[in-house]
Amino acid sequence: MGKPKAKVDDKICLACGGCISLCPHDALSMLGGRAFVAEDKCLSCAICIRTCPVGAISGEVYK
């Protein structure tokens, strides 16, 4: 069990790609037209969560 990972809500994501360009751990990519978090790479830094323009990414780590 590691830290809780960032999670993309498919119902909110507008697939702009910003999170992918910002993820320092290469954990995000576009998959099937939506952003997708590779859990094994996510280090829960929360950059994607803070910067998502529509609030589509959430995670326990971010309060």
Partner 1 sequence: MKYDVVVVGSGPAGTVTARFAAESGAKVLIVERRAEVGVPVLCGEGISQKIDDWGMLEGKRWIANKMEGARIYSPDGTMVRLSADMAGNETGYVVYRDIFDKELARMAVKAGTEIMMKTEVTGLLKENEIITGVKANQFNEEIDIEADIVVGADGVESKIGQWAGIDTLLKPHDLETCAQYTLTNIECDKEYCDFYLGEEIAPGGYAWVFPKGKDVANVGIGILASLSESGMALKLLDKFIGSHPELKKGEPVRLLAGAVPVAQPVETVKDHLLLVGDAARHADPITGGGLTTSLEGGKIAGETIGKAVNEQKFDNEILGSYETGWKEAFGKKLRRNYLVKEILLGFEDKTLNLLADSLKDYKFEEFSTFSIVKALVLKHPTLLMKLKPLMKISVEK
Q: How far is the CB of 37 from partner 1 (least distance, A)?
A: 14
Q: HSE on the CB side for 48, CA within 13 Å?
A: 33
Q: Residues in the site for partner 1, rule: CB under 8 A?
A: 14-24, 26, 29-30, 33, 47, 49-58, 62
Which residue's CB is nearer to partner 1, number 1 or number 40?
A: 40
19/42 with CB nearer partner 1: 19
Amino acid at 26: D
Indicate the DSSP class of residue 26: S
Closer CB to partner 1, residue 23 or residue 42?
23
Residues 60, 7: contact at Cβ < 8 Å? Answer: no
